[in-house]
Structure 1
Amino acid sequence: MALTYEAARTDLGAFLSRREDGRSSLDLLVPDARCAGCMAKIEREMQALPGVAAARLNLTQKRLTVEFRAGAGDAGGVVDTLARLGYPATPYDPGQAREAHDREGRQLILAMAVAGFGVMNTMMFSVPIWAGLFGQELGPATRVLMMWFSGIVGAPCALYAGMPFFRSAWRSLKARRANMDVPISIGVILTLAISFSETVLGGRDAYFDAAVSLLFLLLIGRWLEHRLRARASSAAADLLALQAPTATLIGAGDVLTATPVDKVQPGDLLLVRPGDRLPVDGEIVSGASELDNSLLTGETAPVAVAAGQACRAGALNLSGALRLRASARSEDSALAAIARLVEMGAQSKSKYVRLADKAAAIYVPVVHTVALLTFAGGWALGLGPREALIRAVAVLIVTCPCALGLAVPAVQITASARLFRRGVLVKSGAALERLADVDHVIFDKTGVLTLGRPRLRDTAAAAIAMAAPLARASRHPLAHALAEAAGDGPLAEDVTEHPGEGVEGVVDGRRCRLGKAAFLGVQSHAAETELWFGFDNDIRIRFAFVDPMRADVAQTVAALRARGLSAEILSGDLPGPVERAAAAAGVARWRAGCTPADKAAIVDELTRQGRKVLMVGDGLNDAGALAKAHAAMAPGTALEASQNAADLVFSGESLMTVVDAVDVARSARARAMENFGLAALYNLIAAPAAMVGLVNPFVAAIAMSGSSLVVTLNALRTGARR
């Protein structure tokens, strides 16, 4: 059950998260925060409160995190201040946040459906009235009857469909500010009032159809915005979901107890079985195994570990049981640190101020002033209050921000559709604006420049057939690649895993081994990934594995360079493979052995230097850099958390889709600027015409719709292939 404001106000102290250093934090759900302006205002007011060290608002989650200094923590004051600003808040609950988001979507769909119904049915009574424009005049009684019918259908639909705008405008006015919903609400309400006045007094014109048509168009844009926000799910939550939910605690007398991972404390002794993920960071006390760190580093080669070595949460234990001494709590693990990098990067990206928001900041006061001057000037020049008010309403409607509001979204939708057909999914409209600005590209190696799937090098079929039965019995990733190359077939018998070394079994009555060179008594100094196979006291066969490069890597880098973008490679892999990949791609600048924090720090440093970075990565170690970069892309084969941290996701084996995305984004930027110019030109012509009485509210609604159609048609040119 959702917590009410009053209950939250009295119980908020219980929701403070207190730390050992005396500091505390509070997470709140702020459902009415909608735009960058809301975020800037809320964060500014929160940080001005006594005892508040920092405040961050995540617009996607509607989550406000307030951090208090040591000894401070007035949670009630925070909630009271938010209420005064017009943003009621409750303690943050993910389920409640999803419910609020879903409820908003249902309300928008219902309002849009009602508006659509109103448009269609109001037109049935408006068309006969319009017929008078073509010499087919209705009788006075019939005309008034049609106006009444139009009002009976249109007015309730407009009042219901306009509630999202009316509520937003009222909250804005209560907080002594004006957003774009204020002139929309005033225009709709005055249009309905004038229409009823004309109907009651037997006037010539009623504009119920204009009011409901205006709302229908605006609701389409509002719903599309809602859908874009719905796609921007939290990557940080996906990262933390990779942690094991429980840990096996080893107590006195080696008694095993399953305990929630958030209850594990530093110093606790844990058992990690083969096939389990490490629940927290720690040091191996006993046991030997191989760890699959691909989620953390992006590299597919397993790492052998033994007693005394440190390991990180999220790694997959492949072969042997390990006793692990916890060195950190789950919330302080390396995985949690990456999640925090992602969250901070996502919040910094949400501060990107769109051009439409900047234009809107000028639009609202200007339109109100012009409408007021139109009314006052018309009355002062001898017009009656009715005619002066009609002109003022016409100004509000004809300058409705539809064209301005559609200038960017129409381009974004068109560009997103074109990229989708080319194999690129755009998750955020603002991503295209940022992608158009990039001047430097960072590539991860494994899974981006390469396919991220180890493949067996050319090997004799007879050798593969000999090793395949033992490979099929192993869970090792390289053994899987060997088994895949062999296809279906028999399985080895009496199989035994040797943690960190390999696997042993019986094939055709002969004992054999598959694993490291030393496991088979062979000395090897190879610089590439390998497995060895052999029967006891018999031949030894070496299997080499490679991660193939994407076929068009060099072409992609050259195309980016031709467009003025520089490129580099950041990888967690060893220097040898990274250097070879850089040479094949034609990239001079590369760095190997990078940790997740290293990659995020490099992106931060480039940003401080004024570079606009595009990060292309697929591993968990890329998630922080993806979130912090100016724009981010991930392949469709990437970890889900990395895809969620990215702005765009591309499918297929072609890397040229990165170039396609940059081209379409730059085209979208050009079309958006053209649309702003068209919207400005329209208002420069339409507003004076409405002020001098050349445009009534009905014509104003048609003109407004026409301007929206023009910017939409111009948007269709975005990204078209020539």
Structure 2
Amino acid sequence: MSVAACPACAGAVPGPRAATPDATHLLHLPDIHCGGCISSVERALTALPDVLSARVNLTQKRVSVAAPGLSSQVLIDTLARAGHRAQPLDRGRLGPRDAELRRLLTRIGVAGFAMMNVMLMSVAVWSGATGATAQVFHLVSAMIAIPAVAYAAQPFFGSALSALRAGRLNMDVPISLAIVLASGASLAQAFGLSDRAGWFDAALALTFFLLVGRYLERAGRGAARSAAAELAALEAPQALLVTADGTRVVAADSLVPGDRIRLLPGDRLPADGTILSGATDLDRSALTGESAPAPAGIGDAVQAGEIALTGSVEVRVDRAGRDTALARMAEIVATAEAQRTRYAGIADRAARLYAPLVHGLGAATFAGWLLVTGDAWLSLDVAISVLVITCPCALGLAVPVVSTVATGRLFRDGMLVKSDTALERLSQIDTVAFDKTGTLTTGEVRLATELADDDLALAAGLARHSRHPLARAIVAAADARDISPAQVDGLTEHPGLGLEATHGTRRIRLGRPGWAGPESDGPSAFLDTGDGAPRPLETAERIAPETEATVTALRARGMDMALLSGDGPRAVARIAGALGIAAAQARLTPEGKVDWIADRRAAGHRVLMVGDGLNDTGGLAVADAAISPGSGLDAARSAADVVLLRGGLGGVTDALWTARGAMARMRQNIGLAVAYNVVSVPLAVLGYASPLVAALAMSLSSITVTLNAVRRFK
């Protein structure tokens, strides 16, 4: 008698086993955990007419399916109807190489094996074989080389044909032309149409080394893993939808706001939502870089991509599909990875001009050598070298690989780069302007003034409608004294000024001096109760962790710094003095911050604004670059070029130094690519580089640029 350990396995009967054909699909099964699960999965899949076999590995929670005529989605839907969640596994991710790398490695092996055999036969010809004997060796070489080249050079031929069909030229067109010319010339010699030494070994060597270069280039770019791809990989493809009849497996992209889903330990959230029941610890490390699990319970907001580590919870879906925070973040990062800089423009223009120029240069080289030497085969040899050695692969890789590496590393260190021009602008910064409350300080403001109960109730009645740190401090002070907020009507928030409402027949205000009270260099704010003189409010706050280290690091690099705040002069001077920031501006309205930044820019400075509040959005928008903490308001995060996901200001220096390093690396790469062409092209035109040497030089230039890009930024 067998006992099923889960509902999906109820009634499952083990099926007969047979020899396993080669698997065509590999699926991950997150929920299986017993023998009944194995039987249920295999029976559901083998019931499909086109499935030849299905074998489950319980330890790895995978099923290997041999179904040549079916798509993975059909198999996933079938398992969903049987009560099992499944998702496709990329075989390339299970090993050290992706599928394309494996295919390239196979082609390298074919080209290398054929090249060595043809070289052995060439030894006989070069050793003195003549006449019919030499021709036999040439024909046998052709029988080995032509099929080998036709197979191994497919990546170049396929790319070139696609470009030609689209009516354009790319860098694989001259490479393919060079391979075809070398093979054709060798074939002509094999049939006795030329008395010049055959080029089969050269054609194969050219293909071999070009493939080696492409393999190493791709492997190097793999080290620059895309943060956007990593985010996309966090998307859960399926969900457990809670219905009146229980739960059923559905595709995550079919969820809509209002749906209820169940999350089991180990599950990744497929949508943004709110916990309705249960409690869990969430792993948010992939999104925020914070390794410590975060407890979450009823009423807490959760996001797609987070993993439930403990406990089962029920979640109401608030946003799904392309509307989740994870999906929006992935789109932002993908945009940022395609950094547009003046260096990118140079590289793009050079790559576009390459194809027509290299074909013209190759033709001119052939004509020139033919005119001087009268030897068509020698002229063709030199022209082939020119076609290969002038490939602008290095120039094409100079900028995008660095952009991907830099933005990916920043993201993995907890910084979300949103703008596609952020790196260049951040690299030019010489002045950093900070907001005070919530940026340089913790934002946990304490009310230092002792108000009468009635006044505190009025202040709390206004403050409870605002997220400003002073407002939260007032509400906290009222709660600590068990004072209920007074009822107010017609509340309006004036950004940078304060809050205004009516209480009975009185107009009341809570806000900055000069608006809610007299101009003053003392109190941070005033409460105007509409009855008597406005009450001054003093606050106290703590400097945030990492702030002092960040300011010290910026000062050591020669950065100018300023503190821009709407608070009173005494509070601003206290924080500025503690941090050693000489330029401190108090009582600034949002327009005042914009004006200060505009004045600095007009004086020739490049200004970075760091802020988190609604009154900072103007400054964030007009600055040369902008950074906002992840705890900031939506408006501030939207206006920023970089969002600090982990909190703290340590990311400010990391972003600035990484941006400078990335721009320097781009300049280095473009310099390397230009130097390569300046040296190699004249050598090829003058006949000092054979096709084999040209292939080696071109591959080496691409590899050098890629390796330089993935070097660690200092």
Give yes or no for contact 1:125–1:147 (8 Å, CA) kept in 2. Answer: no
| 1:158-215 per-position Cα deviation (integer Å, ceiling 9, x unaligned) | 3444577558873xxxxxxxxxxx5615413423542562575455124555667777
Work out whether 1:704 is the aligned partner of 2:698: yes
Which of 568, 572, 581 in structure 2 is aligned with 1:587?
A: 581
Cα 1:368–1:632 change in 2 (3 A) is farther
Instruction: State the alpha-carbon separation in 1 of the partners of residues 360 and 622 from structure 2.
Output: 41
Work out whether 1:567 is the aligned partner of 2:567: no
Instruction: State the alpha-carbon separation in 2 of the partners of residues 164 and 636 from structure 1.
Output: 44
Which of 93, 102, 105 in structure 2 is aligned with 1:120?
A: 105
- Map of 1:353 onto structure 2: 342
Which of 148, 172, 188 in structure 2 is aligned with 1:150?
A: 148
What is the Cα-based RMSD across aligned positions, in Å?
5.5
Spell out the pairing of 1:171-570 with structure 2 (5 A cutoff).
Answer: 182=169, 184-194=171-181, 197-198=184-185, 201=188, 202=190, 203-204=199-200, 205-206=203-204, 207=206, 352-354=341-343, 357=346, 360-361=349-350, 364=354, 367=358, 370-382=361-373, 384-420=375-411, 422-427=413-418, 430-451=421-442, 453-456=443-446, 477=467, 527-528=523-524, 546-570=540-564
Please give the secondary structure, in 2, of the residue aligned with 1:615.
strand
Cα 1:480–1:660 change in 2 (3 A) is closer
Supply the AA of the counterpart residue of 1:657: G
Please give the secondary structure, in 2, of the residue aligned with 1:129.
helix
Please give the secondary structure, in 1, of the residue aligned with 2:561.
strand
| 1:411-445 per-position Cα deviation (integer Å, ceiling 9, x unaligned) | 44444455445443444575333322222222233
| 1:208-247 per-position Cα deviation (integer Å, ceiling 9, x unaligned) | 556677777889999999979999xxxxxxxxxxxxxxxx
Instruction: State the alpha-carbon separation in 2 of the partners of residues 572 and 218 from structure 1.
Output: 52
1:459 is displaced (CA, Å) by 11
- Map of 1:626 onto structure 2: 620
1:715 is displaced (CA, Å) by 3.5
Give yes or no for contact 1:116–1:216 (8 Å, CA) kept in 2. Answer: yes
1:390 is displaced (CA, Å) by 4.2
Supply the AA of the counterpart residue of 1:381: V
- Map of 1:648 onto structure 2: 642
Supply the AA of the counterpart residue of 2:174: G
Instruction: State the alpha-carbon separation in 2 of the partners of residues 588 and 596 from structure 1.
Output: 21
Instruction: State the alpha-carbon separation in 1 of the partners of residues 573 and 401 from structure 2.
Output: 43
Give yes or no for contact 1:125–1:149 (8 Å, CA) kept in 2. Answer: no
| 1:370-424 per-position Cα deviation (integer Å, ceiling 9, x unaligned) | 4344222222232644543443343233232222233334444444455445443
Work out whether 1:695 is the aligned partner of 2:680: no
Instruction: State the alpha-carbon separation in 2 of the partners of residues 563 and 449 from structure 1.
Output: 19
Supply the AA of the counterpart residue of 1:374: T
Give yes or no for contact 1:456–1:546 (8 Å, CA) kept in 2. Answer: yes
| 1:322-375 per-position Cα deviation (integer Å, ceiling 9, x unaligned) | xxxxxxxxxxxxxxxxxxxxxxxx99x998522661695497487566434422
Supply the AA of the counterpart residue of 1:446: T
Supply the AA of the counterpart residue of 1:353: R
Spell out the pairing of 1:13-24 with structure 2 (5 A cutoff).
Answer: none
Please give the secondary structure, in 2, of the residue aligned with 1:354.
helix
| 1:135-180 per-position Cα deviation (integer Å, ceiling 9, x unaligned) | 576965554344333344355543444577558873xxxxxxxxxx
| 1:534-580 per-position Cα deviation (integer Å, ceiling 9, x unaligned) | xxxxxxxx997545332443443343233222122334555554444
Give yes or no for contact 1:126–1:146 (8 Å, CA) kept in 2. Answer: no
1:126 is displaced (CA, Å) by 0.5
| 1:602-651 per-position Cα deviation (integer Å, ceiling 9, x unaligned) | 54443343222222233355445434433332222234454454333334
Instruction: State the alpha-carbon separation in 2 of the partners of residues 380 and 611 from structure 1.
Output: 59
Matched length: 454
Supply the AA of the counterpart residue of 1:382: T
Instruction: State the alpha-carbon separation in 2 of the partners of residues 596 and 219 from structure 1.
Output: 49
Instruction: State the alpha-carbon separation in 2 of the partners of residues 427 and 665 from structure 1.
Output: 14
Please give the secondary structure, in 2, of the residue aligned with 1:661.
helix
Instruction: State the alpha-carbon separation in 1 of the partners of residues 167 and 219 from structure 2.
Output: 18
Instruction: State the alpha-carbon separation in 1 of the partners of residues 473 and 542 from structure 2.
Output: 13
Instruction: State the alpha-carbon separation in 1 of the partners of residues 221 and 550 from structure 2.
Output: 37
Give yes or no for contact 2:563–2:585 (8 Å, CA) kept in 1. Answer: yes
Cα 1:404–1:502 change in 2 (3 A) is same
Give yes or no for contact 1:356–1:405 (8 Å, CA) kept in 2. Answer: no
Greater Rg, structure 1 or structure 2? Answer: 2
Instruction: State the alpha-carbon separation in 2 of the partners of residues 420 and 136 from structure 1.
Output: 55
TM value normalised by structure 2: 0.50
Cα 1:208–1:588 change in 2 (3 A) is same
Cα 1:573–1:683 change in 2 (3 A) is same
Unaligned runs of 5+ in 2: 1-96, 124-136, 191-198, 231-334, 492-499, 504-508, 512-516, 529-535
Cα 1:360–1:498 change in 2 (3 A) is closer
Instruction: State the alpha-carbon separation in 2 of the partners of residues 219 and 596 from structure 1.
Output: 49
Give yes or no for contact 2:478–2:484 (8 Å, CA) kept in 1. Answer: no
Cα 1:390–1:356 change in 2 (3 A) is farther
TM value normalised by structure 1: 0.50
Give yes or no for contact 2:434–2:610 (8 Å, CA) kept in 1. Answer: yes
Work out whether 1:677 is the aligned partner of 2:671: yes
Instruction: State the alpha-carbon separation in 1 of the partners of residues 156 and 388 from structure 2.
Output: 14
Supply the AA of the counterpart residue of 2:148: S
Give yes or no for contact 2:339–2:400 (8 Å, CA) kept in 1. Answer: no
Supply the AA of the counterpart residue of 1:406: L
Cα 1:383–1:436 change in 2 (3 A) is farther
Supply the AA of the counterpart residue of 1:610: G
Cα 1:393–1:628 change in 2 (3 A) is farther
Instruction: State the alpha-carbon separation in 1 of the partners of residues 595 and 486 from structure 2.
Output: 46
Instruction: State the alpha-carbon separation in 1 of the partners of residues 449 and 590 from structure 2.
Output: 36
Give yes or no for contact 2:110–2:152 (8 Å, CA) kept in 1. Answer: no
Give yes or no for contact 1:114–1:157 (8 Å, CA) kept in 2. Answer: no
